[in-house]
């Protein structure tokens, strides 16, 4: 097991009633030899004193962006570069609102906007504040921007009301952080690799006509980005899509036909994870005409088809180079769970992500999706309709958990 030892965490203490709990978390982290720097927001100062924070962290507290001494010592950019992780607790409704607008109006928001590190938000507020449409909209925006959330929990609040909005306990946050660094260090050390297929394929009848489908490639692209963010080196093999597939971090291979996709998949092996999110055409025309087919009323109108190789089952069955985790996507219009469970078995997958493409405004060609993730034991985890980027993060985390459990050296 890796340790928290020598990790550097920047804690931003916001202006909520739960701010006092930041002191307990800091104590726990210091005991585990974590180095801590803190920023106290203007309102945060109303709830905990700079003196309590300095006494615990043995470090200077940063408060003001226009403090000449602070900037001389360590500027707002250096502060975010110094940290391995930034955590905001409590994250107030106001703070969420500022972050979702991309504000940089004080030291805390400026450091976050300038940061190249993971930012963990720990919301704490009254249940009505949390459930307010504005806060929920900000939550969605922040998740899309890639911020991570711990909580909030359901429970009794300081104001005496009951509901969702209670801050996760320092112990829960501590456990999250420990897992986070364990996994991150391990993944970095192992140098895991993944391949993701996405988009449609085109199967040509002649030089200008083809059989294809409605896949936009968005979901696969988002999964590839999410795996990459977790530290897994990812190759994206994509069919022709309307989606702007562009990322310096991903190794992107562009293909057109199912045959070409299969060839790229074989070239990319071995990998630890394979995610097949592409809508590969099951069939291709048996004969491709060299020239554009002319309209001839007397000709037969029948197109003869033959089967394409099945990339997903090739990966699932592959004895020599089988990825540790093979994930399929299934697009169904009826009996979604039942049919997907059959597909999982038939294609020898470890996980299948099932989506109902019969519903409007989700699935094919949409920014939204609603999926159920099914494992080999038949367990189903449903994710309600959400942005494809959000679903991709969830899927990537489940894949990573599976990968780490499968890895014998990891305990």
Ligand X SMILES: Cc1cc2nc3c(=O)[nH]c(=O)nc-3n(C[C@H](O)[C@H](O)[C@H](O)COP(=O)(O)O)c2cc1C
Residue numbers annotated as active site = 159
Q: What distance in Å separates the CA atoms of residue 366 and residue 387, rounded to the nearest whole number? A: 9
Is residue 151 near ligand X by the rule CB under 6 A? Answer: no
- In whole angstroms, the minimum distance from the beta carbon of 186 to ligand X comes to 34
List the interface residues with ligand X, window 51-90 (CB under 6 A). 90
Q: Which of 27, 32, 43, 263 binds ligand X (CB under 6 A)?
A: 43
* Stretch of residues binding ligand X (CB under 6 A), selected from 77-85, 123-131, 301-309, 319-327: 123-131
Sheet with 119-123, side-by-side order of all strands: 61-62, 35-40, 8-13, 85-91, 119-123, 148-149
Residues 6+ apart with CB under 8 A from 31: none
Q: Which stretch binds ligand X (CB under 6 A): 9-17, 29-37, 353-361, 364-372?
A: 9-17
Q: Which residue has the tokens 């209670």?
A: 166
**Strand duo 305-307 + 210-211: pairing:** unpaired
Using CB under 6 A, pick the residue from 9, 10, 15, 215 that binds ligand X.
Answer: 15
Q: Does 212 bind ligand X (CB under 6 A)?
A: no
Which of the stretches 124-132, 193-201, 218-226, 389-397 binds ligand X when contact is defined by CB under 6 A?
A: 124-132
| Binds ligand X by CB under 6 A, chosen from 129, 177, 223, 225 | 129
Residue (of 68, 53, 173, 77) closest to 124 by Cα position? 173
Q: Is 12 in the site for ligand X (CB under 6 A)?
A: no
Q: Would you tell me the crossing angle of helices 388-406 and 170-190 to the nearest 10 degrees?
A: 70
Taking CB under 6 A as the binding criterion, the range among 36-44, 61-69, 136-144, 398-406 that sits at the site for ligand X is 36-44
Of the residues 38, 70, 92, 235, which one makes contact with ligand X according to CB under 6 A:
92
Give the one residue of 7, 9, 11, 14 binding ligand X; rule: CB under 6 A.
14
- Residue from the set 32, 52, 94, 213 that interacts with ligand X by CB under 6 A: 94
SS3 content of the chain, % helix, strand, coil (to 5): 35, 25, 40
Enumerate residues 6+ apart whose C-beta is below 8 A from 409: none
- Closer to ligand X by Cβ: residue 167 or 353: 167
Q: Which residue has the tokens 């291979």?
A: 253
Could you say whether residue 11 binds ligand X (CB under 6 A)? no
Asked if 93 is part of the footprint of ligand X (rule: CB under 6 A), the reply reads yes
**Sign, CA torsion 184/119/149/177:** positive
Smallest gap from Cβ 376 to ligand X, in A, equals: 42
Which CB sits closer to ligand X, 17 or 269? 17
| φ, ψ at 269 (rounded to 5°) | -65, 150
Q: Are 223 and 396 in contact (CB under 8 A)?
A: yes
Q: What minimum distance in Å lies between the beta carbon of 25 and ligand X?
A: 16
In a 10 Å sphere around its CB, with 0-12 CB exposed, 13-18 middle and 19+ buried, how is residue 269 labelled? Answer: middle
* Binder among 10, 11, 38, 41 for ligand X (CB under 6 A): 41
Taking the mean position of all CA atoms in its chain, how far away is CA 63?
A: 32
Size of the site for ligand X (CB under 6 A): 16
What phi-psi label fits residue 46: left (phi over 0), alpha (psi between -120 and 50 degrees) or beta?
A: alpha
Among positions 11, 35, 44, 284, the unique one binding ligand X when judged by CB under 6 A: 44
Chain residues that interact with ligand X, rule: CB under 6 A:
14-18, 41, 43-44, 90, 92-95, 124-125, 129
């Amino acid at each position: 097991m890796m340790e928290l030892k020598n990790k550097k965490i920047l804690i931003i203490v916001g202006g909520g009633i739960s701010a006092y709990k930041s002191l307990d978390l800091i104590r726990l982290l210091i005991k585990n030899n974590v180095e801590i720097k803190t920023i106290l927001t203007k309102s945060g100062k109303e709830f905990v004193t700079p003196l309590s924070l300095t006494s615990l962290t043995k470090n200077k507290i940063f408060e003001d962006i226009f403090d000449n001494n602070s900037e001389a010592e360590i500027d707002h950019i250096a502060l975010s570069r110094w940290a391995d992780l930034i955590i905001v607790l409590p994250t107030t409704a106001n703070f969420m609102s500022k972050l979702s607008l991309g504000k940089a109006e004080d030291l805390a928001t400026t450091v976050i906007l300038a940061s190249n590190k993971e930012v963990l938000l720990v919301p704490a507020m009254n249940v009505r504040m949390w459930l307010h449409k504005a806060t929920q909209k900000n939550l969605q925006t922040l998740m899309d921007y890639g911020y991570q959330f711990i909580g909030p929990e359901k429970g009794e609040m300081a104001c005496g009301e009951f509901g969702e909005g209670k801050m996760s306990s320092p112990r829960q946050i501590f456990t999250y952080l420990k897992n986070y660094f364990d996994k991150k260090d391990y993944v970095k050390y192992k140098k895991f690799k993944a391949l993701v297929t996405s988009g449609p394929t085109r199967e040509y009848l002649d030089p200008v006509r083809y059989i294809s489908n409605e896949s936009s490639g968005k979901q696969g692209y988002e999964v590839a980005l999410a795996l990459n963010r977790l530290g897994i080196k990812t190759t994206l093999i994509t069919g022709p899509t309307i989606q702007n597939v562009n990322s310096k971090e991903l190794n992107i291979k562009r293909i057109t036909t199912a045959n070409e996709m299969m060839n790229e998949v074989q070239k990319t092996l071995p990998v630890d994870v394979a995610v097949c999110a592409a809508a590969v055409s099951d069939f291709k025309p048996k004969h491709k005409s060299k020239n554009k087919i002319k309209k001839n009323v007397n000709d037969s109108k029948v197109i003869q088809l033959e089967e394409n190789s099945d990339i997903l089952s090739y990966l699932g069955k592959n004895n020599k180079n089988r990825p540790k985790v093979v994930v399929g996507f299934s697009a169904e219009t009826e009996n979604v769970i039942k049919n997907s469970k059959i597909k999982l078995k038939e294609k020898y997958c470890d996980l299948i992500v099932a989506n109902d493409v019969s519903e409007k405004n989700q699935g094919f060609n949409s920014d939204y999706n609603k999926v159920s993730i099914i494992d080999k034991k038949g367990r189903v985890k449903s994710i309600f309709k959400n942005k494809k980027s959000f679903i991709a993060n969830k899927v990537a985390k489940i894949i990573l958990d599976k990968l780490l459990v499968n890895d014998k050296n990891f305990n």
